[in-house]
Amino acid sequence: MKPVLLIDFGSTYTKVTAVDVEAGCLLGTADSFTTIHTDIGEGLEKALEKLHAKTGELDYAARYACSSAAGGLRMITSGLVPELTAEAAHQASLGAGAKVLKVFSFQITEDDLEEILRINPDIFLLVGGTDGGNTECILHNARMLASIPFDFPVIIAGNRTAARECERILEGHEVHLCENVMPKFGVLNIEPVRKKIREIFLNRIIHAKGLSEASELISGILMPTPSAVMRAMHLLAKGCEGESGIGDLIAVDVGGATTDIYSMTDGMPQDASTVYKGLPEPFDKRTVEGDIGMRYSVHGIVDAAGIGRICQLSQLSQERVEELLELLDEHKDMIPESGSDLEKLDFALASMAIETAVARHAGTMEETYTLMGLTYVQSGKDLRHVGQVIVTGGSLIRTTRTGEIASHALASPAAPMSLRPLKAEIRVDRKYILAAMGLLSEYEPQIALRIMKKELEHDGYSEQKNS
């Protein structure tokens, strides 16, 4: 036996997963409250006590960790045109596992500077202009940043013609030069920025958040938790040498405060009658809906879906729904009992969280008429052919209605121009292993893939209903 420990320091829970890399199997999982404000090692040790109660004491060959504790990796990005370089910066940041708190377009103002100081991000990503194109905007924004006192690192990944001048303008601050996120019009180059964000996370951020206190307990904190999940999903979709993947997929993580969506697919137009509009999107895309969550952002779900839809799905009166929402405002740690009204409400909330978040993540189709006749214009990713939906999050793994909830990720006749999947197999991460498998994939991709294919539970097959 060669056990390896995989740790996810979350904002609320620290989750531990033990894997035998010799046998290629999962040994056990456990969790405990994260203790970031005292000693983060306390939460880890408590989780390990629970784990070893199941597995017995284990002598680990290595311990690897990811983290979203203390607010995760918080970023601000600034670009030129909202649909182009600003969006490229946004995608690069999300793909690196960051929580993007603000995206600025065009020239930064004095009011924007006040907001930047108030947010005080972990990293600021400064982009703008294709190579050889506009330099005025990125230089202006560099000067504006230089006029305020800040201690966060700045990544410059815009027009290469202006990059060195931006670096000189920001002299005295921690600055990292990187390749342009959009070197040519409509061409994405986000992987170098993702790598740089991860490098800064490793070298700087984990110390700033107190995670270095756990350094004696682990071999290393490798990446932000969402980045680990992204790697796991990429591996599951594409496979690796010696082990095939399961094909194109989307993954949904419904949390208490946010809902994360991952898609692993090209998503480009499937037929000649469709033209693509906008910036091409990466194969591995992540979006975060900060207003969609089961507890801290519950009102965002209700606002998006409408109180009537929540009442319809929960089969509760509006008066009872509003009463329960007030209760959740006061007690965000409430877990519903089987058969209770709160369980019925949670079913409706989780269903609408998934429907809203996936609809925002997916592309859309428009009809237009040209000299050639009817033409379809696609914006964003076409997910209609995606055949696998992976779901995780407390509201989905604690219920027997997981497949029913997850089916809301699929296309609906009520929104015919939304390019969500038409039919899909539902798989459930009931043991919270996705981040752990992303960590393991750094060293043992075959084993990580085999464990996911075995441990992600099948929960039926769903397809778009005709009515």
User: Does residue 126 share a domain with residue 63?
Assistant: no
Q: Is residue 94 part of a domain?
A: yes
User: Does residue 147 share a domain with residue 21?
Assistant: no
User: Does residue 46 share a domain with residue 163?
Assistant: no
Q: Is the pLDDT at 134 greater than 80, yes or no?
A: yes
Quick: pLDDT tens for 228-287.
999 999 999 999 999 999 999 999 999 888 899 999 999 999 888 899 998 888 999 999
Give dist(CA 441, CA 218) in Å, integer. 17
The closest alpha carbon to 405, from 361, 351, 459, 447, belongs to 351
Q: Is the pLDDT at 24 greater than 70, yes or no?
A: yes
User: Does residue 143 share a domain with residue 289?
Assistant: no
Instruction: List Cα–Cα distances, 375 to 8, 275, 317, 378, 456, in angstroms.
Output: 47, 8, 44, 10, 40
More confident residue, 344 or 73: 344
pLDDT for 459: 86
pLDDT for 221: 67
Q: Is residue 183 part of a domain?
A: yes
Kindly write down the DSSP assignment for every residue of 277-323, as one continuous string. Answer: ES----SEEEEEETT--SSTTHHHHHHHH-HHHHHHHHT--HHHHHH
**pLDDT confidence of 155, banded at 50, 70, 90?**
very high
The gap between the terminal CA atoms of the chain, to the nearest Å, is 53
Which CATH number is 177's domain given?
A: 3.40.50.280
User: Does residue 149 share a domain with residue 286?
Assistant: no
Quick: pLDDT tens for 368-421.
887 778 889 999 999 999 999 999 988 898 899 999 999 999 999 999 999 999
User: Does residue 87 share a domain with residue 112?
Assistant: yes
Range of lowest pLDDT (299-303, 403-407, 417-421, 459-463)? 459-463
Please, what is the average pLDDT of the chain? 90
Contacts of 172 (CB under 8 A, 6+ apart): none
Q: Is residue 88 part of a domain?
A: yes
Q: Given phi > 0 = left and psi -120 to 50 = alpha, else beta, which region is 105? A: beta
Q: Is the pLDDT at 5 greater than 60, yes or no?
A: yes
Give dist(CA 79, CA 345) in Å, integer. 41
Three-point CA angle 202, 208, 209, nearest 5°: 90
pLDDT for 458: 92
Residue ending a domain, among 162, 181, 204, is 204
Give the residue-averaged pLDDT of 201-208: 66
Q: Is residue 226 part of a domain?
A: no
User: Does residue 150 share a domain with residue 58?
Assistant: no
User: Does residue 92 share a domain with residue 18?
Assistant: no
Kindly write down the DSSP assignment for every residue of 323-340, as one continuous string. Answer: HHHHHHHH-TT--PPTTS
Q: Is residue 114 part of a domain?
A: yes
User: Does residue 456 share a domain with residue 424?
Assistant: yes
The closest alpha carbon to 25, from 397, 453, 458, belongs to 453
Q: Is the pLDDT at 40 greater than 70, yes or no?
A: no
Share of the chain above pLDDT 70, in %: 93
Q: Is the pLDDT at 11 greater than 80, yes or no?
A: no
User: Does residue 248 share a domain with residue 186?
Assistant: no
Residue ending a domain, among 189, 218, 247, is 218
Give the residue-averaged pLDDT of 142-154: 96
pLDDT for 205: 58
Range of lowest pLDDT (70-74, 76-80, 122-126)? 70-74
Give the residue-averaged pLDDT of 432-457: 96
Q: Is residue 227 part of a domain?
A: no
User: Does residue 172 share a domain with residue 62?
Assistant: no
Which CATH number is 20's domain given?
A: 3.30.420.300
SS percent in the chain: helix, strand, coil, step 5:
35, 25, 40
User: Does residue 162 share a domain with residue 187?
Assistant: yes
Look up the domain containing 96 and give its range.
74-204
Give me the phi and psi of 277, to 5 degrees please: -120, 130
The closest alpha carbon to 52, from 11, 16, 8, belongs to 16
Q: Is the pLDDT at 429 greater than 80, yes or no?
A: yes
pLDDT for 35: 60
Q: Is the pLDDT at 467 greater than 50, yes or no?
A: no
Give dist(CA 143, CA 148) in Å, integer. 9
Q: Is the pLDDT at 39 greater than 90, yes or no?
A: no
Instruction: List Cα–Cα distances, 364 to 230, 250, 267, 379, 416, in angstroms.
Output: 23, 16, 11, 5, 9
Residue ending a domain, among 170, 192, 218, is 218
**pLDDT confidence of 73, banded at 50, 70, 90?**
confident
Q: Is residue 228 part of a domain?
A: no
Q: Count of domains in the chain?
A: 3
What letter does residue 201 receive in the DSSP assignment? I
Q: Is residue 230 part of a domain?
A: no
> Which SS3 state, helix, strand or coil, does residue 358 take?
helix
Share of the chain above pLDDT 90, in %: 68
